[in-house]
Amino acid sequence: MKPQLQNEKERLCLSCMKCCREVIVYTHPVLYSCPAEMLVEFYQARGFSVTRLKEDAIILSFKHDCQHLTPAGCDIYDQRPEACRDYSGIEDFGDECLWSQLKKK
Ligand code: SF4
Ligand code: SF4
């Protein structure tokens, strides 16, 4: 990513931090050898938000504050993992990922 774009992403991410508070997981009933309905029920009963896609693929979303998230933001921001640095929440969060606004321009 070009430095200017990286800087802009950082600016947007610092005012968002959504993916530091919410986790999205993709899964499929074939991994558990059980019907999709059972998997959906299992996770819904535990408070997950569950979306069922085509071919029974399932998206789980749940609130989870990263251990490094503080009221002042990420406490290791300058040394945050590369996965955090490069992660784009667009596929997971759509327009709720502020970075998506810039990518659309
Ligand atoms: S959801 Fe998007 S804009 Fe928000 S912190 Fe994550 S990558 Fe950055
Ligand atoms: S390490 Fe920092 S940037 Fe990465 S998820 Fe945690 S709070 Fe967010």
Mean pLDDT of the chain: 92
Ligand 1 atom closest to residue 13's alpha carbon, by position in its atom list: 8
Ligand 2 atom closest to residue 80's alpha carbon, by position in its atom list: 1
Mean pLDDT for 58-76 is: 95
| pLDDT beyond 80 at 103 | no
Contact between 69 and 21 (Cβ < 8 Å): yes
**Is the distance from the beta carbon of residue 13 to the nearest atom of ligand 2 less than 6 Å?**
no
Ligand 2 atom closest to residue 69's alpha carbon, by position in its atom list: 7
Nearest CA to ligand 1 atom 8: 13
Nearest CA to ligand 2 atom 2: 74
Lowest mean pLDDT among 2-6, 13-17, 61-65, 87-91: 2-6
Query: How far is it, in rounded angstroms, from Cα 99 to Cα 16?
Result: 9
Question: Tell me, what's the pLDDT at 105?
Answer: 64
CA Rg, the chain, in Å? 16
Give the tokens for residue 68: 């490094």
| pLDDT beyond 80 at 104 | no
| pLDDT beyond 70 at 71 | yes
In this predicted model, what pLDDT tens digit does every residue of 16-62 receive, in sequence order?
A: 999 999 999 999 999 999 999 999 999 999 999 999 998 889 999 99
Contact between 97 and 13 (Cβ < 8 Å): no
Query: How far is it, in rounded angstroms, from Cα 89 to Cα 95?
Result: 9
What are the CA-CA distances from residue 61 to residues 19, 43, 44 (Å)? 11, 10, 10
Between 28 and 5, where is the model more confident? 28
